[in-house]
Structure 1
Amino acid sequence: MKIGIFFGGPSREREISFAGGRTVYDNLDKSLFEAIPIFVDSRGNFILLDWHYIYKGTIRDFYPPVSALPPSTLPVQVYLESLGELTQAEQDRIIAEVGRRVEPHELRELVDFAFLALHGPGGEDGAIQGLLEWYGIPYSGSGILPSAFGINKVAQKKLLKALNRPTPNFRVLSVEEWDAADPAATLQYLVRELGLPLVFKAPRQGSSIGVSILREADVAKFLDAVERSLFRKTVVGAEWQKLTERDKLQWVQQLVDIRDGIGLPVEVSTLAPLASSTLDATAQPSEKQIVAHPEELLRVLDATLQTTEAVRLTNVDGEAQVLLESFVQGREFSCIVVEDPTGKPLALPPTEIVKGEEMFDYRSKYLPGLSRKITPIDLPEADIQRIREACEEMFETFGFQVYARLDGFISSEAPVTDSEATATDSGNFIFLNDPNTTSGMLPASFFFHQAAEIGLNPSQFLTFLIRTSLAARRRGGMQPVRLAGLLKQLDTAVASRQQQERTRTKVAVVMGGYSSERHISVESGRNIYEKLSSSVKYEPVPVFLTGNSQEFRLYVLPINVMLKDNADDIREKIELAEAGHPTHPILTRIRHEAEAITSAYAGQPTEQPRRVSFSELAEEVSEVFIALHGRPGEDGALQRELEQYGLPYNGSGAESSSITINKFETNRKLREAGLRVAEHRMATRLEWTADSEGFYQSLEAQFPYPFIAKPADDGCSSAVKKIKNRAELAAFSRLIFRDQEELMPADATVLQLGFKEEFPQKEAFLVETLIARDGAAHFLEVTGGLLTHWGPNGELEIEVFEASEALATGEVLSLEEKFLAGEGQNITPARYAPDPAERQRISEEVKAELRRVAEVLDIQGYARIDAFVRVRQQGAVEVLIIEVNSLPGMTPATCIFHQTALAGYTPYDFIDQILEFGKQRADKLELNA
């Protein structure tokens, strides 16, 4: 069956849709389905996407292609809408570089079924559902009416009130009312009616976009919150003039972000001069113009704010209303509801989102480790069952089909509502809000996370949803004879697949660890697991490593534990199992209710984690894929253990790994070999403790500010900081040499550490000169991957891929930019020069240097090498090596997959090559022994 995966789209959630579409593409059962990637661009064009673009980190990495971009000096990637008005012919030329345009009437011939991974307006609002209905193409999820209703938060609130269901009191503020209002009086009215805190929402957005919380009756903060939900921004001339060029660039980068900012294009309205410098919503706009590109926006603001007191920026696709709600103080949860084989709703175990005062925003939802997701929510069974019943009731009331994600709160306080709220047996109150007819589909999202609790892996869950959707469309009257045939065909294929006996190579995928890189390791491990599990060659076995440097503890994970949100959640489940903690009775109940689903789709046993020794692991598996980062994993210790038991593994050998883990030792060896590296030295705790003032002065004498400070043996941008003054150096030293685990708040503030940013404790750190342009004509940061093969005579051959150009929005590349889907800006291949021939010449020189690095360090298997490249005026190329990763990140969004795709390897092909190399190396070693 040909499954068209629709992803991307025009909404502000397009990056999560793109990442979710890739997850579906990778996890569809290859023995049942053929995946057809249908990328939807921000103008609504359907594009049959060339497969290698699916593995880009973000949409902007490939679309619009570099050839279509106007000249710009800004390090900011843009979406198609920033190119301004385009003719059909211009759009066709752009589309032809990444695939081919598909007209709507062609879809019927191209796909048997449409899997909708689209979000927000244009994806969840009934529009695409209506088009597919018109052409008679069955699709996933809810139909037209429930989709249109599911995206409209205001309509939902009104229906809940009409049905006397408990929901927080609310008011709706239209843009016309707001523009004519007195902000102070409006705030006073809303506080009187709804109380504080106040919750502001954009009524037709998801992923917490356009949401904010006002905790005090502050008019300025009130203005900001309303503007955030309307996707507006008022810029005051006096404040703009105070900004440096760097500040302005960062301001524009944040503003044009479609998730946290208001996005582009914007209408720029000049506000009439005011008597005071305090702007309010009654300021009337005069001249207006539409600006689409960030560079043009900077020019317009600089020019306009020379003579005008302020301007208002309004996104052309912003909201026309703001939904304001009373705040609920309670525990937040999310619950996936699916239709069982009889068409009745079945609520999966609800997940609690554990956080502090912070909002569960876009970043917290999608970056592992920033929030805790506990399944099931820690409540008595009766309360959880009441939550499930409430979710199933809302699913039926709103007419949802196939599946939906319902969010809500449980509180010990009755919500501020006009409706009667009924308490549970334990005195808690439940109410629901913001249902989603399409859930996020990242590997560890609620969508797959909760399905795993009934024993379905992502591949099996997707098969179930496709079958359930076909049945729903048939019940709705869509081509009953044709869809009956498709259902029979699918049922037969699923049944025969269960009876097939396949002999597959068992591969232990080791993930986790105990360093600051543990969450990214779990993301990498899960990605490897999913790529291997949908293959016909390998049977992956997820293994979690914990413990310490003296003792590695290995645990084989069942699917429901592997798909916990992050490494800490997995470790907690292991600890509970070892303490004899019984399975929550609600899980036993739900698994029983779901037996008709799991038996049909070969659900796996939901067991407890099982501890194994290295010798036991060697009995169970034939190979190991190490998905760990930093220590342990990249330091050679685990490799030595595996060698003792004859287990082939990926990546470099123990000796090479023990060198590349140490950035100082790596730099020393590369410098001795004549390669360029930054000047560097180790700064030890011993020196600092003995004489902190002398320690600081010694570093300052050798390294003029600014310089780079970072741990010598951690990766993933962990604690990499640009140190600009003595205060930052002292704060960095105190944090990295601290005795307690907790961070010191004052020092964390000095270094501007992000929310929940981890900072390791070390006995020493590495100091390096800041690598700068140094007068070069062109200067860029790159990251290049490589893969090794055995030649015909047993010699080692090194294949170096085209490097990616990394664009950092801050002072150094952040964790999010490297690994969070839709966050980083990576251009592959790197833009060394505008002229194609010159670009290729420079690229070959860079690749030659990276190959030399691999040879000097005896890198085997694969690796990622980070470097800066200077291109001098006369064309001379200088490559300055930053660091080497012998086990690079393998998350779905990492740029190594962009590079391998250019070389013709799918992610599975690349992983297969890595495993084959390790197996052949082990065979060679055994022969030599």
Structure 2
Amino acid sequence: MKIGIFFGGPSREREISFAGGRTVYDNLDKALFAAVPIFVDSRGNFILLDWHHIYKGTIRDFYPPVSALPASAHKMPVYLESLGALSTAEQDKIIGEVGRRVLPHELPELLDFAFLALHGPGGEDGAIQGLLEWYGIPYSGSGILASAFGIDKIAQKKLLQALGQPTPDFRTITAEEWDTTDRTALLGYLTRELGLPLVFKAPRQGSSIGISILREPTEAQFAAAVERSLFRKTVRRDEWSRLGEQDKIMWVQQLTDIREGIGLPVVLDADDTNIIYHPEALLTLLNERLQTADAVLLTNVDGEAQVLVESFVAGREFSCIVVEDPDGNPLALPPTEIVKGEEMFDYRSKYLPGLARKITPIDLPEAEIQRIRAACEAMFRTFGFQVYARLDGFISSQLPVPGSQSSDEQTGNSQPATGNSIFLNDPNTTSGMLPASFFFHQAAEIGLNPSQFLTYLIRTSLAARRRAGMKPVQLGRLLGQLDAAVAARQQHEQERTKVAVIMGGYSSERHISVESGRNIYEKLSSSTKYEPVPVFLTGSSAEFRLYVLPISVMLKDNADDIREKVEHMEAGHGLHPILAHIRREAGAITSTYAGQPTAQPRRLSFEELAQEVDEVFIALHGRPGEDGALQQQLEKLGLPYNGSGVESSSITINKFETNRRLRAAGLRVAEHRMAARREWAADAESFYRSLETQFAYPFIAKPADDGCSSAVKKIKSRAELEAFSQLIFRDQEELLPAPATVLHLGFKEEFPQKEAFLVETLISRDGARHFLEVTGGLLTHWQADGTLGIEVFEASEALATGEVLSLEEKFLAGEGQNITPARYAPEAAERQRISDEVKAELRRVAEVLNIQGYARIDAFVRVRGEAEAGGAVEVIIIEVNSLPGMTPATCIFHQTALSGYTPYDFIDQILEFGKARQEKQIGAKK
């Protein structure tokens, strides 16, 4: 069956849609389905996407393509809408570089079924559903009417109130009211009617876009909250003038971010005759206008016309996926509690692992969880949802608002006169589909892995469309064919090579390690060659503890959640009774699609691991994993593994030693030295002066033996040097508040404790004609003569929004931007000349350090002289990663795709190399 995956789209959640579409593309059961990637751009064009673009980290990494980008002094990343008004021919030229345009009438020829991974307007509002209905193409999820309700928060509220279901009280503010009403009076009215805090929402956006909480009744904060939901921004001259040039650039980038800013294009002071499309143009305009004007008002041309204002619900927040069972009845999966502090569960907290804790099931008595499930199933029926939906809400000790008392007859969820009340809001007809999102996370609790869950949803969607009257004979035949194929699939499961995928660890990059491990697991599990076994490593450098994970635990949100789950099991706690109950209810689903019962985490020794698997893929980052310690254990047991050997790994984990060896070999590295705690403790002032004598501000400080993005900071002053030293040399695990503030550490940003740190000169342009940061991957092969061959890929150009590339920008979907291949020069021949020189230097690095398997090398590149003269190329090595991140978004997959390797092909090559190396070592011993 040809499954068209629709992803991307015009909404502000297009990056999550893009990442979710990739998850669906990777996890569709290859024995049952053929994936057809239909990328939807921000103008609504359908594009049959060339496969290698699917593995880009963000949409902006490939679309619009580099050739279509206007000249930009600051290389600000942009979406298609920033190119301004484009003719159809101009759009076709752009589309032709990434795939081919698909006209709506062509869709029935290309696909049998549409899997909708689109979010927000254009994806969840009934629009795409209506188009597919017109052409008779069955699609996933809810139909037109339910989707229209699902996107409109104000309509939802009115319906819930009309039916007497508990919902926070609310008011609306129109844009016209905001522009003409006395704002002091309006704020007073809202606080009297709804109380404080107040929740402000953009009523037709995703559940995490355009949301604010007003806790204090100040007019400035009130105005900021309303503007956030209307996608406006008032920029004041006094605030703008205080910013430095680089700060202004970063400010404009954040303002035009589609997720947390207002996006583009915008108009100035409601003048819709002058539309600003590009962030560079906006920067120039603000610099000009704020010379004389006290303030300017920026409004996104596709902003909202209303703001929804709700009373605040003080309670425990949860999210629950509801699916249809095989009989078409709603079945609520185990609800997940979202544990956080005072902050909102916003876009960043929802999609970046480790920022919010997600506990499944919510920690409540079984009867209370059943009440939540019943309420969610009732709302699913009330709105006429089909196939699946994600319902968010609160369970709170506050009583429902007057007049919203529900009854058994209306909803099946009678609220008690006293005790906890359940408030449901913001239903989503398309949930986020990242590997560990609520969508897959809760399905895993009943034993379905992502591939199995997608198969079930496709089958259920076909049945829903057929019930609604779409092509009953044709869809009946498709259903029969799919049911037969699923049954045959289970009967003919073949023997596969068992690969332990080791993930987790205890470094500050443990959450990224889990993301990498899950990605490897998914790529291998969809193959016919490998059977991946997820293994979680925890403990300490003194003792590694290994656990085989069931899918339900592997898909927990982050490494800490997984560790907590295995520790819970080791303490003797059994399966939560509500999970046992839901698994029985879901038996008709899992018996057909899962094929095997769910299990508990199981601890095992290295010796037991060697008995159970054929080889190992180490998906750890930093220590342990990249330091050779784990490799040593595996070599003792004769287990093949990925990446470099013990000796090389022990060198590359140490950034100081790596730099020393590379410099000795004649390669360029930054000036560097180690800064030890003992020197600092003996005389802090001398310690600081010594560093300041050797290194001029600004310089780089970072751990010498941790992951590539852990606590890397640009130190610009004595105050920042003191703060960095105090944090990295601290005695307690908790961060010191004052130094953390000085370094502007982000929410839940981790900072390791070390006995020493590395200080390096800041690598700058130094008068070069062209200067950029790159990251390059490589893969090794055994050649016919038995020697090691090194294949170096085209490097990616890494663009940072801050002073240094963050962990999220390097590894997480939708964060940061990587241009592959790197833009060394506009002319093709000159670009290739520079690229060849860069690749030659990266190959030398691999040879000097005896890197094996694969690696990622980060560097700065300077190109000197005139372009026509073929200027000198300088490559300054920053660091080497012997086990680079393998998350779905990491740029090493962009690079391998250019050389014809799919992510699975690349992983297969890595595993085959490890196996061949093991055989060579055995042969050498004989």
Q: Normalising TM by the smaller chain, what interval?
A: over 0.9
Q: 1:564 — aligned with what?
A: 556
Query: Where do residues 345-494 of structure 1 align in structure 2 (5 Å cutoff)?
Result: 345-420=330-405, 423=415, 427-494=419-486
Question: What is the one-letter code of the residue matched to 1:923?
Answer: E
2:608 is paired with a residue whose SS is helix
1:847 is paired with a residue whose SS is helix
1:419: how far off? Answer: 1.3
Offset from partner CA, 1:416-444 (integer Å, 9 cap, x none) = 45412654599211110000000000000
Question: What is the one-letter code of the residue matched to 2:923?
Answer: L
Offset from partner CA, 1:737-769 (integer Å, 9 cap, x none) = 111000110010011100000000001100001
Q: 1:916 — aligned with what?
A: 912
Counterpart pick for 1:549 among 532, 541, 544: 541
Query: Where do residues 493-512 of structure 1 align in structure 2 (5 Å cutoff)?
Result: 493-512=485-504
TM-score by length of 1: 0.98
Contact 1:804/1:899, CA 8 A, preserved across alignment = yes
Contact 2:708/2:879, CA 8 A, preserved across alignment = no
Q: 2:873 matched to 1:888?
A: no
Counterpart pick for 1:297 among 268, 277, 282: 282
1:603: how far off? Answer: 4.2
Measure, in 2, the Cα distance between the counterparts of 1:543 and 1:295.
47
Contact 1:166/1:417, CA 8 A, preserved across alignment = no
Measure, in 2, the Cα distance between the counterparts of 1:176 and 1:3.
44
Query: Where do residues 51-70 of structure 1 align in structure 2 (5 Å cutoff)?
Result: 51-70=51-70
Q: 2:317 — aligned with what?
A: 332
Contact 2:399/2:418, CA 8 A, preserved across alignment = no
Measure, in 2, the Cα distance between the counterparts of 1:309 and 1:729.
37
Q: 2:923 — aligned with what?
A: 927
Q: 1:878 — aligned with what?
A: 874
Q: 1:189 — aligned with what?
A: 189
Measure, in 1, the Cα distance between the counterparts of 2:271 and 2:108.
49
1:159: how far off? Answer: 0.4
Q: 1:759 — aligned with what?
A: 751
Measure, in 1, the Cα distance between the counterparts of 2:781 and 2:588.
47
Measure, in 1, the Cα distance between the counterparts of 2:272 and 2:524.
58
1:304: how far off? Answer: 2.2
Q: 1:273 — aligned with what?
A: none
Offset from partner CA, 1:316-358 (integer Å, 9 cap, x none) = 1100100000001100000000000000000000000000000
Measure, in 2, the Cα distance between the counterparts of 1:313 and 1:655.
57
My pick for the range that moved more, 659-668 or 405-414, is 405-414
Q: 2:149 — aligned with what?
A: 149
Question: What is the one-letter code of the residue matched to 1:80?
Answer: L
Q: 2:861 matched to 1:869?
A: yes
1:597: how far off? Answer: 0.2
Between the two proteins, what is the percent identity of the paired residues? 81
Contact 1:335/1:349, CA 8 A, preserved across alignment = yes
Query: Where do residues 164-203 of structure 1 align in structure 2 (5 Å cutoff)?
Result: 164-203=164-203
Contact 1:776/1:871, CA 8 A, preserved across alignment = yes
2:875 is paired with a residue whose SS is strand
Counterpart pick for 2:844 among 848, 852, 867: 852
2:42 is paired with a residue whose SS is coil
Q: 1:279 — aligned with what?
A: none
Q: 2:410 — aligned with what?
A: none
1:209 is paired with a residue whose SS is coil
Measure, in 2, the Cα distance between the counterparts of 1:416 and 1:813.
47
Change (3 A) 1:768 1:232: same
Offset from partner CA, 1:11-31 (integer Å, 9 cap, x none) = 000000000000000000000
1:42 is paired with a residue whose SS is coil
Contact 2:627/2:646, CA 8 A, preserved across alignment = yes
Q: 1:87 — aligned with what?
A: 87
Measure, in 1, the Cα distance between the counterparts of 2:421 and 2:913.
58
Q: 2:409 — aligned with what?
A: none
Question: What is the one-letter code of the residue matched to 1:916?
Answer: E
Measure, in 1, the Cα distance between the counterparts of 2:101 and 2:596.
40
Measure, in 1, the Cα distance between the counterparts of 2:815 and 2:90.
28
Gapped runs of 5+ residues in structure 2? Answer: 407-413
My pick for the range that moved more, 71-80 or 130-139, is 71-80
Question: What is the one-letter code of the residue matched to 1:901?
Answer: A
Gapped runs of 5+ residues in structure 1? Answer: 270-284
2:445 is paired with a residue whose SS is helix
Counterpart pick for 2:574 among 551, 561, 582: 582
Counterpart pick for 1:539 among 520, 531, 534: 531
Question: What is the one-letter code of the residue matched to 1:889?
Answer: G
Question: What is the one-letter code of the residue matched to 1:46?
Answer: F
Measure, in 2, the Cα distance between the counterparts of 1:801 and 1:209.
37
Offset from partner CA, 1:813-866 (integer Å, 9 cap, x none) = 011211221111110000011111101100000000000000000000000000
1:241: how far off? Answer: 2.9
Contact 1:328/1:415, CA 8 A, preserved across alignment = no
2:95 is paired with a residue whose SS is helix
Question: What is the one-letter code of the residue matched to 2:233?
Answer: K
Contact 1:167/1:417, CA 8 A, preserved across alignment = no
Counterpart pick for 1:600 among 585, 592, 598: 592
Q: 1:274 — aligned with what?
A: none
Measure, in 1, the Cα distance between the counterparts of 2:789 and 2:903.
20
Q: 2:773 — aligned with what?
A: 781
Counterpart pick for 2:623 among 631, 638, 646: 631
Measure, in 1, the Cα distance between the counterparts of 2:403 and 2:310.
12
Offset from partner CA, 1:876-898 (integer Å, 9 cap, x none) = 00000000000000001111111
Measure, in 2, the Cα distance between the counterparts of 1:426 and 1:565.
34
Measure, in 2, the Cα distance between the counterparts of 1:895 and 1:597.
37
Q: 1:726 — aligned with what?
A: 718
Query: Where do residues 221-232 of structure 1 align in structure 2 (5 Å cutoff)?
Result: 221-232=221-232
Measure, in 1, the Cα distance between the counterparts of 2:726 and 2:468.
65
1:604: how far off? Answer: 3.6
Over the aligned positions, Cα root-mean-square deviation in angstroms equals 1.1
Q: 2:626 matched to 1:641?
A: no
Measure, in 2, the Cα distance between the counterparts of 1:625 and 1:879.
31
Change (3 A) 1:178 1:860: same
Measure, in 2, the Cα distance between the counterparts of 1:743 and 1:720.
16
1:768 is paired with a residue whose SS is strand
1:454 is paired with a residue whose SS is coil
Query: Where do residues 780-819 of structure 1 align in structure 2 (5 Å cutoff)?
Result: 780-819=772-811
Change (3 A) 1:267 1:176: same
1:324 is paired with a residue whose SS is strand
Measure, in 2, the Cα distance between the counterparts of 1:373 and 1:589.
21
Contact 2:339/2:358, CA 8 A, preserved across alignment = yes
Question: What is the one-letter code of the residue matched to 1:308?
Answer: A
Change (3 A) 1:894 1:207: farther
Measure, in 2, the Cα distance between the counterparts of 1:8 and 1:367.
19
Counterpart pick for 1:907 among 903, 910, 915: 903
Measure, in 1, the Cα distance between the counterparts of 2:69 and 2:343.
38
